[in-house]
């Protein structure tokens, strides 16, 4: 099974898990970045009750021996690694678009939730079922829900939104804005006033950027 087929299978399996709690997938939509920002619902953020453990993640949903982290690594690799028993990945190279780095071997990479788990909680996930939060934390159905990036940039980002953190590579910024907005639209997450104002300001230099997403 090739990596694309494996990731698609894992995504389908995860979707089946959450059928009882997640609205069935709708048709994919494309908006300009500006229209996408305006389409986001606005609400105050609420962190009360957040615990990372409320988002079960890095599971092996399709039972192929590779958990969500490994599925993302295998989908985004540019030089093929060796995959051993238990889906142990060695070798290989990956791009990290946040900082335009090329990373040799998986140990220097983190898998970043485009919209961090804490930010998702603040933006509406606190009201979700455990099954929907698990589906969110392991979302292989959209390429930019989860991305392999250098550990340094992921840890610098932490749980911050674009009003507080943007990728260090200038070439990454319009893509990052589109990925952020698309992920929030995909999962019907909200923005607060400061976040929306910042998105509007940053998007001013991204006139030709579109947002593609498939609501769940």
* Longest Cα–Cα distance in the chain: 48
Q: How much is the pLDDT for 27?
A: 87
CA 16 vs CA 131, 132, 141, 157, 164: distances in Å: 11, 11, 12, 31, 35
pLDDT in the model for residue 4: 46
Contact present, 146 and 81 (Cβ < 8 Å)? no
For residue 74, give both structure tokens. 């295998």
Closest among 53, 29, 62 to 118, alpha carbons compared: 53
Output the CA torsion 199→202→205→208 (10° steps): -30
Give 163's Cβ-side CA count (13 Å radius). Answer: 10
Q: Provide the angle, in degrees to the nearest 10, between the axes of the packed helices 3-17 and 130-137.
A: 170
How high is the pLDDT of residue 7? 52
User: What does the pLDDT look like over 24-52, one tens digit per residue?
Assistant: 557 899 999 999 999 999 999 999 999 99
How many other C-beta atoms can be found within 10 angstroms of the C-beta atom of residue 65?
A: 12
> pTM value?
0.87
d(CA 82, CA 156): 29
pLDDT on residue 1: 47
The answer to whether 36 and 29 have CB atoms below 8 angstroms apart is no
Q: Which residues of the chain have pLDDT under 70?
A: 1-25
List CB contacts of 88: < 8 A, sequence separation 6 or more: none
Return the axis-axis angle of helices 3-17 and 68-76, rounded to nearest 10°.
Answer: 150
Torsion angles phi and psi, residue 82, rounded to 5: -95, 130
**Residue 55 carries which DSSP code?**
S
């Amino acid at each position: 099974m090739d990596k694309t087929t494996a990731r698609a299978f894992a995504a389908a399996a995860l979707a089946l898990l959450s059928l009882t709690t997640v609205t069935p997938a709708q048709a994919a939509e494309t908006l300009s970045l500006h229209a996408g920002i305006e389409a986001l619902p606005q609400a105050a953020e609420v962190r009360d009750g957040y615990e990372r453990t409320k988002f079960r993640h890095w599971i092996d949903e399709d039972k192929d021996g590779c958990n969500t982290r490994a599925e993302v690594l295998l989908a985004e690799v540019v030089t093929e690694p060796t995959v051993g028993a238990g889906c142990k990945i060695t070798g290989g190279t990956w791009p990290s678009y946040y900082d335009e780095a090329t990373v040799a071997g998986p140990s220097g990479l983190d898998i970043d939730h485009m919209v961090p788990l804490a930010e998702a909680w603040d933006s509406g996930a606190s009201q979700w079922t455990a099954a929907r939060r698990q589906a969110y934390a392991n979302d292989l159905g959209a390429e930019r829900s989860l991305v392999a990036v250098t550990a340094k940039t992921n840890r610098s980002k932490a749980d911050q939104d674009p009003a507080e953190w943007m990728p260090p590579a200038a070439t990454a910024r319009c893509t990052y804005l589109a990925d952020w907005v698309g992920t929030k639209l995909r999962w019907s997450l909200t923005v607060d006033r400061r976040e929306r104002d910042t998105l509007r300001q940053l998007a001013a230099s991204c006139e030709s950027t579109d947002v593609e997403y498939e609501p769940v």
